[in-house]
A and B are shown apart, each in its own frame.
Chain A
Amino acid sequence: MNMLQPDHAEPTAHGADHAEGGFDAGETIIGHVANSSFEHPILHLPVVFGIDFSITKHVFMLLLVATVVFLGVTLTVRRYLRQDRLVPAGFMNALEFVVEFIRDSIVLPNVGAKYVRTWAPLVLTFFCFILAANVAGLIPMFEVVGLIDHYVLHTGEHSVIKNMIHGGPTATANFNVTAALATITFIAIIVAGTLAHGFIQHWINLVPHGLAWPLYILLIPIEVMGMFVKPFALTMRLAANMTGGHIAILAILSFVFLFNEIFSSALAGIGVGVLVSVPLSVGIYALEIIVVLVQAYVFTLLSAVFIGMAINVHH
């Protein structure tokens, strides 16, 4: 796990294969997956209370995705509500399908009819945000920006555009991001239990009642640990899935440069690329599109299940 931490990710992203030490596949892959380093943030911000608020690649992607989702959804819904006849069209159609799907087949069966309207907005926000952040990681927008910069703009070594190219574009591949999302779920579980049963009763509900007292000595610690296990499982699963697929694609693509180096001929590299790397990575990329959807779905489903467990207590 250590290798995924951002401070190990020196910004070698696009220059690694030209470095004099030859092609370092590991360094290049991590450079394309991990957050960009604090030395070259996109925007320098001051350090407050020992926390560097500089905007790195993943923070930039978070802000970008949040803005796109917020504007996309609010503008579409506003335009829809201004119509004379309330008939959804275009993007609104898709949005309505997603809202109904999340509400009726994820939130309703888990949370129950009484609290659907309380928790559907949170779960929907999770779904839209995670899906958008995952999808944003699959769109090669920074590569296009880099190409334009390389051939047209020719900006300096530490320009905003150069700094933007470093680091991976998938914000949800960062454990800090998914941990923050899971923390929201963790708080939502407690709030849901409190709203449904009262604060004290929520904690009493955690352990089954009517058992012999020695069992409680065992069960209470287990339940407390279980409370942290749920958000932890959410954190690891989302981040690991988003990182894993990208690493697989990059590892297969790095065959091109490795073979190029081993046989010291461009033809070997290009041959491996055409015959093996590109077809395989296109296949994995197609799989990634499914993974992106499934992971957003699983996160929202599990959040809804956990919130529902706090509300509908059965013993």
Chain B
Amino acid sequence: MPDERDPFLARSLQFLQANLRQAGPAATASYSLIGAIVLLGGAGHLVDRWQGTDPWGLLAGLLIGLVVGFYELAKAVWRP
């Protein structure tokens, strides 16, 4: 923990560093969740455009995206 005798700026920076250190897993979790849904939803949409299977590729992509996203989220959150 920061030392009370430290000047104000150095103490603030130490608190900032401590916060940032803890922010890593949270940032990972949120971005992988969104990223998975957008990436696989987009891939599903491309399959639709390619094969002409209009809503189904997108729906399947979104569903798989949700699964992958939540799997990544769980992994990031439960990482010891």
- In the complex formed, the residue of B with least CB distance to A106 is B20
- Could you tell me if B21 and A225 are in contact, using CB atoms closer than 8 angstroms? no
Q: Produce 1/0 per residue, B67-79, CB < 8 A to A.
A: 1110110010001
Q: Verify if A222 is at the interface (C-beta below 8 Å from B).
A: yes
Tell whether A233 pairs with B71 under 8 Å between CB atoms, given A110-B24, A225-B40. Answer: no
Tell whether A229 pairs with B80 under 8 Å between CB atoms, given A101-B17, A109-B24, A301-B23. Answer: no
Distance of B41 from chain A, by nearest CB (Å): 11
Distance of B57 from chain A, by nearest CB (Å): 15
The B27-67 residues at the A interface (CB cut-off 8 A) are 27-28, 31-32, 34-36, 38-40, 64, 67
Tell whether A232 pairs with B39 under 8 Å between CB atoms, given A226-B71, A302-B28, A314-B79. Answer: yes
Q: Verify if A104 is at the interface (C-beta below 8 Å from B).
A: yes
> Which residue of B31, B36, B38, B75 contacts A302 across the interface (Cβ within 8 Å)?
B31
- Could you tell me if A301 and B34 are in contact, using CB atoms closer than 8 angstroms? no
- Could you tell me if A229 and B79 are in contact, using CB atoms closer than 8 angstroms? no
- Could you tell me if B17 and A298 are in contact, using CB atoms closer than 8 angstroms? no
Chain A contacts of B25 at CB under 8 A?
305
B-side interface mostly = helix
- Could you tell me if A226 and B20 are in contact, using CB atoms closer than 8 angstroms? no
- Could you tell me if B21 and A229 are in contact, using CB atoms closer than 8 angstroms? no
The A225-271 residues at the B interface (CB cut-off 8 A) are 225-226, 228-230, 232-234, 236-237
Q: Verify if A105 is at the interface (C-beta below 8 Å from B).
A: yes
- Could you tell me if A301 and B27 are in contact, using CB atoms closer than 8 angstroms? yes
Distance of A62 from chain B, by nearest CB (Å): 24
Interface size (B, Cβ < 8 Å)?
25
Query: CA of A86 to CA of B67 in the docked complex: distance in angstroms?
Result: 54
Q: Produce 1/0 per residue, B4-32, CB < 8 A to A.
A: 00000000000001001101110110011
- Could you tell me if A230 and B27 are in contact, using CB atoms closer than 8 angstroms? no
Query: CA of A237 to CA of B35 in the docked complex: distance in angstroms?
Result: 9
Distance of B29 from chain A, by nearest CB (Å): 10
- Could you tell me if A105 and B27 are in contact, using CB atoms closer than 8 angstroms? no
- Could you tell me if B35 and A230 are in contact, using CB atoms closer than 8 angstroms? yes
Query: CA of A136 to CA of B40 in the docked complex: distance in angstroms?
Result: 33
Residues of chain B touching chain A, judged by Cβ–Cβ distance below 8 Å, are 17, 20-21, 23-25, 27-28, 31-32, 34-36, 38-40, 64, 67-69, 71-72, 75, 79-80
Residues of chain A touching chain B, judged by Cβ–Cβ distance below 8 Å, are 101, 104-106, 109-110, 222, 225-226, 228-230, 232-234, 236-237, 297-298, 301-302, 304-306, 309, 314
Query: Could you name 30 residue pairs across A and B whose Cβ atoms are closer than 8 Å?
Result: A105-B17, A105-B20, A222-B67, A225-B36, A225-B40, A226-B71, A229-B32, A229-B35, A229-B36, A229-B39, A229-B72, A230-B35, A233-B34, A233-B36, A233-B39, A234-B35, A236-B35, A236-B38, A237-B35, A298-B27, A301-B20, A301-B24, A302-B28, A305-B24, A305-B25, A305-B27, A306-B28, A309-B79, A314-B79, A314-B80
